[in-house]
């Protein structure tokens, strides 16, 4: 079955790429061999605060390097999550998916406090001609901030109260 074969190929590609991401500690970003898996004109669509990265260099500079510098001890559990594919599309989730310590340069305005956190995320990839062409990444940033004592929604409620007073 052609669809099943394409699904298996896409799943294998993303699985291999994810395994290589774990090689960072052994040899830095080069050990991850992104060029082997990602299309040169790939697009990575991240959460608010990171945004869209174009190409491998865009991904490295705008997301990967700042993320790894902020949380170099991050540890994922690929074997414990749910990895699935249909045709050219692959998805992965595990809640929580990674454990890490906010250190280094900090992350998305969060000071490098040394606090341990977990991160919930959901990824979808689109494969094209044996390479990853697109990746959509959803991260539960409200949960990240809650772990460091910041209730983002409570802050928004306060801002809205102030706005209502100002409008009267």
State pLDDT tens for residues 119-137.
999 999 999 999 999 999 9
> Can you give the pTM of this predicted structure?
0.85
Rounded Cα distance between 149 and 168, Å, is 32
Mean pLDDT of all residues belonging to the chain: 89
Rounded Cα distance between 133 and 141, Å, is 25
Q: Look up tokens 């414990």; give the residue.
A: 80
pLDDT the model gives residue 167: 66
CB 112 within 8 A of CB 80: no
Q: How many CB atoms sit inside 10 A of residue 66's CB?
A: 17
Which domains, from first to last, does the chain contain? Answer: 2-167 (3.10.450.50)
Rounded Cα distance between 69 and 71, Å, is 6
- The DSSP bridge partners found for residue 38 are 132
pLDDT digits (tens, 9 = 90+) for 70-124: 988 888 766 678 999 999 999 999 888 889 999 988 888 888 999 999 999 999 9
CB 125 within 8 A of CB 90: yes
Phi, psi (deg, nearest 5) at residue 137: -125, 120
Provide the pLDDT confidence category of residue 29 given band limits of 50, 70 and 90: confident
Q: Which residues contact 99 (CB under 8 A, 6 or more apart)?
A: 74, 75, 116, 117, 118, 119
Beta strands in 2-64 (DSSP E): 38-45, 52-54
CB 94 within 8 A of CB 104: no
Between the alpha carbon of residue 109 and those of residues 19, 24, 112, the distances in Å are 29, 24, 9
């Amino acid at each position: 079955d052609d669809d099943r074969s394409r699904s298996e190929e896409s799943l294998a590609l993303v699985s291999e790429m994810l395994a290589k991401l774990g090689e960072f500690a052994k040899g830095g970003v080069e050990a991850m061999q992104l060029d082997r898996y990602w299309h040169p004109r790939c697009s990575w669509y991240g959460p608010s605060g990171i945004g869209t990265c174009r190409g491998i260099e865009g991904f490295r500079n705008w997301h990967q390097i700042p993320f790894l510098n902020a949380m170099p001890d991050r540890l994922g559990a690929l074997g414990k999550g749910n990895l699935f594919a249909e045709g050219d599309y692959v998805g992965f989730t595990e809640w929580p998916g990674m454990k890490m310590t906010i250190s280094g340069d900090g992350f998305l305005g969060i000071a490098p406090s040394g606090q341990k956190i977990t991160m919930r995320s959901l990824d979808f990839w689109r494969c094209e001609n044996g390479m990853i062409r697109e990746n959509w990444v959803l991260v539960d940033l409200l949960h990240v901030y809650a772990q460091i004592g910041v209730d983002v929604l409570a802050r928004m409620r306060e801002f809205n109260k102030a706005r209502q007073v100002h409008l009267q």
